């Protein structure tokens, strides 16, 4: 387990010495983080550790007070709209348009993303996430949370973006849906997508992530790397997670 994130030339998502907050309240404190192509990075931390703020900074919703943020080499602070072309985001509670079908949702949101909404692209993406053909034309109001999750991921697949940001992706999913979701992330990893996953689910993270970072008071306190720690030592990770919780002493 390393104490800090190492520099990586192949990194496609990069936060370098980033500080950000709301008003006088600093949330991210000199945070550095990199995720490479084909890598899944799980970011864990307690409430208020700065997980969501990290995503907001990466999406260009929040301007950092210091540091550099780049996505596929694009400076997020200088041109957030251009940087967003390289990233897809799936929120914790996946919310798409209930009155539209999965196909229509994808077509609409792809158009908003500036991507041509070709039928083959949409069908291919829905196929890739394993959404049944019969369900694709139904309105989302009849979908389960897992199916919505798949639809949202399908959007990212269809956009063919190099970076995917996931906010608590397994929250509220049943075990089978979680397993299917992990399979889906494997597919995306194999395609070379860099995935940053914000989660509270340590066990799930050990199953799917390549690296797990623990965020506390706006900075990465520890990073566990699967390549170094072949099958993550859950006990050590749990201890690290506990340490990262607010009010705990390392």
Partner 1 sequence: MTMLRFEWLLLIRSRLTLAALIVLSVLSIFAVARGLHEVARQNAVIAHLETLQKNDMSDLAKAYGPEGDAGYAAYYSFHHTFDPPSRLAFAALGQRDVLPYNLRVRALGLQAQLYEGDIFNPELALPGRFDLSFVLVYLTPLFLVVLLHDLVSGEAESGRLSLLRAAPKAGIALWLRRAALRSALVFAAVAVPFVAGAVIAQAPVAGVMGGVALIALYVMFWTALCLLTAAFGFGSRINALVLLSQWVILVLVAPTLAHIAISRSVPVPQGVDIVLKHRQLVHGAWEVPKDLTMQRFFHSHPEWKATAPLGKTFEWKWYFAFHHVGDESVAADVATYRGRILQRQALAEGVGYLLPSVGVQAAMERLGDTDIRGYLSYQDQIKTFHTALRRFYYPYIFNKTPFPEPEYAKVPRFEPRSYGGGIGGFYLLTLAALSAGLGGGGVWLMRKRIV
Give contact residues for partner 1 (rule: CB under 8 A): 59, 61, 81-82, 84-85, 87-89, 91, 93-97, 99-100, 104, 107-109, 111-114, 117, 139
By C-beta, is 119 or 190 nearer to partner 1?
Answer: 119
**Rounded least distance, CB 178 to partner 1, Å:** 20
Any idea what DSSP says for residue 7? P
Distance of CA 162 to the CA centre of its chain: 12
**Rounded least distance, CB 52 to partner 1, Å:** 10
By C-beta, is 61 or 238 nearer to partner 1?
Answer: 61
- Location of structure tokens 């990069």: 14
* DSSP per-residue string spanning 220-248: EEEEEETTTSSS--HHHHHHHHHHHSTT-
- Location of structure tokens 């496609």: 12
**Rounded least distance, CB 198 to partner 1, Å:** 13
**Rounded least distance, CB 98 to partner 1, Å:** 8
By C-beta, is 18 or 161 nearer to partner 1?
Answer: 161
The dihedral built from the CA positions of residue 158, 164, 167 and 172, taken in this order, carries a sign that is positive
Q: Are 6 and 30 in contact (CB under 8 A)?
A: no
Beta-strand pair 194-199/40-45: parallel
Q: What angle is formed at CA 185 by the lines to CA 85 and CA 230, rounded to 5 degrees? A: 120
By C-beta, is 63 or 236 nearer to partner 1?
Answer: 63
Based on its alpha-carbon atoms, the radius of gyration of the chain, rounded to whole angstroms, reads 18
By C-beta, is 109 or 154 nearer to partner 1?
Answer: 109
**Rounded least distance, CB 243 to partner 1, Å:** 30
Q: Which of 60, 57, 74 shows the shortest CA–CA distance to 17?
A: 57
């Amino acid at each position: 387990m390393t104490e800090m994130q190492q520099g990586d030339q192949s990194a496609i998502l990069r936060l370098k010495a980033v500080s950000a907050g709301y008003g006088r309240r600093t949330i991210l404190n000199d945070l550095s983080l990199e995720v490479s192509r084909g890598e899944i990075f799980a970011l864990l931390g307690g409430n208020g550790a700065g997980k969501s703020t990290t995503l907001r900074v990466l999406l260009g919703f929040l301007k950092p007070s210091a540091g550099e943020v780049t996505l596929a080499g694009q400076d997020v602070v200088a041109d957030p709209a251009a940087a967003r072309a390289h990233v897809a985001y799936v929120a914790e509670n996946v919310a798409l348009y209930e009155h539209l079908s999965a196909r229509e949702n994808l077509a609409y949101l792809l158009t908003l993303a500036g991507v041509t909404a070709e039928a083959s692209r949409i069908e291919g993406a829905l196929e890739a996430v394993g959404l049944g053909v019969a369900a694709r034309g139904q309105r989302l109001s009849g979908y389960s949370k897992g199916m919505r999750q798949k639809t949202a991921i399908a959007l990212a697949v269809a956009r063919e973006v190099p970076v995917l940001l996931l906010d608590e992706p397994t929250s509220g999913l049943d075990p089978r849906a979680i397993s299917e979701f992990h399979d889906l992330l494997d597919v995306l990893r194999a395609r070379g997508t860099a995935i940053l996953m914000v989660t509270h689910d340590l066990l799930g993270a050990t199953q799917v992530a390549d690296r797990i970072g623990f965020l506390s008071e706006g900075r990465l306190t520890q990073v566990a790397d699967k390549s170094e720690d072949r099958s993550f030592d859950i006990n050590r990770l749990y201890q690290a997670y506990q340490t990262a919780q607010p009010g705990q002493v390392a």
